[in-house]
Amino acid sequence: MQNPFAFSNYVTGESFCNRKRELSELLKYIKGSQNVLLFSHRRYGKSSLIWQVFRNIKGKELDIGAMHVELYGTISEKDFITRTFQGLTQLESNFEKLLKSVSKILKNIRLNLSIDSATGRTSVSPSFEAVNEKIILEELMNILSKYSQKRKLVIALDEFQEIASYTEEGFEKRLRSFIQQHPNICYIFSGSQQHLITEMFSSNNRAFYKLAESFPLDKIETKHYIPWVQNLFSRKNVQFPVEIIEDIVARFENHPMYIQNFLFHLWDEPEEKGFSPEIIDRIENTIIEKRNLEYTVLWESLSINQKKTLKLILLNNGANLFNTDSLKSVNLKTGSLVTKTLSSLMKKEIIVKSEIYMIQDIVFKKWLQKTLSF
Ligand SMILES: Nc1ncnc2c1ncn2[C@@H]1O[C@H](COP(=O)(O)OP(=O)(O)OP(=O)(O)O)[C@@H](O)[C@H]1O
Ligand SMILES: [Mg+2]
């Protein structure tokens, strides 16, 4: 029987747990063509939520065109344009028809057709020869505008923070001015580098200031994991005890990806043994060990003060870090040094601050606890 759990890419359908409230809220914004800024820590399920809401739009046969543009890895305006252009194929199942309607709208640019070697599907991108990128962006935006006059669109620009590092003069401003002229399009700006993405939308000297409604995505509540896990395991005729689900969810602090990762491994355990504490511990250790290399590289990239500060956080559960005794325990000299180091760790997204300071990646925290042995 196929393992229903997955953790390396986005998930939809049966592998997607609950998020009913988020789905209906997101759909409300899409129907009303309001822009949203979807953000969370890494691997909480932003892309999955987007793909699942697209699936629901299709399932409900709503007349809304949906397009997902993956901006991860793009480094220039040209990359942005190419990816968005390629995304157009999602709006039209008939490629010939797409080509015809796009060509009709274009004034100054030629199109290149290519076959995507991974999917075997034909894709289309503009030819950058002899035409200024500014003009190509304008024409691309014109295509979106024309399409959205016929039917509403939702366009997800995933990993949107990437555009902040493009070096082309005024790109953010130009993009904003087009987006503002699209009343029938809901743009979902999505990203995981929270400080970067929220800065783009909340600082009044940035182009995207107040262009979208904030949509922070939280972890998934324990009460939602229980029926989802029980239902999937019932296919193997396994009755999954609630307390064990609660234990697993608590071990990974409700983190969607790590919980799927855990259940993926658990699925292949022989069920006749039940879910003993030994099995649960063993799988948890496997998950930590598999990341050993990644975490060693990360640890070695840190300065000595950053290492001490992480230890300080762990020893004090993230609170009272500036006590003289706390500082002494890790041999850190002054509170001001800690303040500086905490801010550098937050910039790297290794720690986050709520009421207390926390290590963002829960498995990294477990690895540190094991490695630093305390
Ligand atoms: N609703 C969900 N139910 C169950 N598991 C989920 C759900 N959403 C996400 N996950 C798990 O989290 C993993 C990461 O999901 P996804 O790629 O959507 O997150 P993301 O926030 O877009 O990540 P990134 O920060 O890398 O962009 C998925 O592979 C899946 O294991
Ligand atoms: Mg994502």
pLDDT digits (tens, 9 = 90+) for 28-51: 999 999 999 999 988 999 999 999
pLDDT in tens, 324-350: 888 888 888 888 999 999 999 999 999
Mean pLDDT calculated for residue range 190-200: 83
pLDDT in tens, 108-158: 888 888 887 777 878 888 888 878 888 999 999 999 999 999 999 999 999
Q: How far apart are CA 93 and CA 74, in angstroms?
A: 26
Q: How far apart are CA 236 and CA 240, in angstroms?
A: 10
Tell me whether residue 256 is exposed, middle or buried, using C-beta atoms within 10 angstroms of its C-beta: 0 to 12, 13 to 18, 19 or more. buried
Beta carbons of 232 and 5 less than 8 angstroms apart: yes
Task: Establish whether residue 40 lines the binding site of ligand 1, counting it when its CB lies within 6 angstroms of any ligand atom.
Answer: yes
Is the pLDDT assigned to residue 374 strictly greater than 70? no
Q: What percent of the chain has pLDDT over 90?
A: 70
Residue whose pair of structure tokens reads 């234990």 in the numeric block: 247
Which residues, including other chains, have CB under 8 Å from residue 227's CB and lie 6 or more apart? none
List Cα–Cα distances, 101 to 89, 106, 129, 150, in angstroms: 12, 9, 22, 12
Report the residue among 3, 7, 10 best suited for mutation to probe ligand 1: largest number of ligand atoms under 8 A from its CB: 10
Report the residue among 50, 260, 265, 360 best suited for mutation to probe ligand 1: largest number of ligand atoms under 8 A from its CB: 260
Higher per-residue confidence, 2 vs 373: 2
Mean pLDDT calculated for residue range 188-197: 85
Task: Establish whether residue 166 lines the binding site of ligand 1, counting it when its CB lies within 6 angstroms of any ligand atom.
Answer: no
Beta carbons of 283 and 244 less than 8 angstroms apart: no
Mean pLDDT calculated for residue range 291-315: 96
Q: How far apart are CA 155 and CA 137, in angstroms?
A: 16
β-strand pairing of 111-115 with 122-126: antiparallel
pLDDT in tens, 209-251: 888 999 999 999 999 999 999 999 999 888 899 999 999 999 9
pLDDT in tens, 348-358: 999 998 889 99
**Closest C-alpha residue for ligand 1 atom 25:** 42
pLDDT in tens, 14-26: 999 999 999 999 9
Higher per-residue confidence, 367 vs 109: 367
Weakest-pLDDT range from 49-58, 64-73, 199-208: 199-208
Q: Which atom of ligand 1 is nearest to the CA of 40?
A: 21
Higher per-residue confidence, 179 vs 124: 179
Q: How far apart are CA 156 and CA 53, in angstroms?
A: 11
Give the model's pLDDT for residue 112: 85
Mean pLDDT calculated for residue range 307-323: 92
Which residues, including other chains, have CB under 8 Å from residue 21's CB and lie 6 or more apart? none
Return the closest-CA partner of residue 305 out of 275, 280, 327.
Answer: 327
Report the residue among 43, 196, 249 best suited for mutation to probe ligand 1: largest number of ligand atoms under 8 A from its CB: 43
Q: Which atom of ligand 1 is nearest to the CA of 192?
A: 25
Weakest-pLDDT range from 102-106, 138-142, 314-318: 102-106
Q: How far apart are CA 372 and CA 374, in angstroms?
A: 6
Mean pLDDT calculated for residue range 260-271: 92
Give the model's pLDDT for residue 272: 65
Task: Establish whether residue 42 lines the binding site of ligand 1, counting it when its CB lies within 6 angstroms of any ligand atom.
Answer: yes
Q: Which atom of ligand 1 is nearest to the CA of 8?
A: 29
Task: Establish whether residue 47 lines the binding site of ligand 1, counting it when its CB lies within 6 angstroms of any ligand atom.
Answer: yes
Return the closest-CA partner of residue 91 out of 77, 79, 105, 78.
Answer: 105
Q: Which atom of ligand 1 is nearest to the CA of 5?
A: 31
Q: What is the pTM of this model?
A: 0.93
Q: How far apart are CA 86 and CA 102, in angstroms?
A: 12
Q: How confident is the model at residue 273 (pLDDT cuts 50, 70, 90)?
A: low
Give the model's pLDDT for residue 39: 93
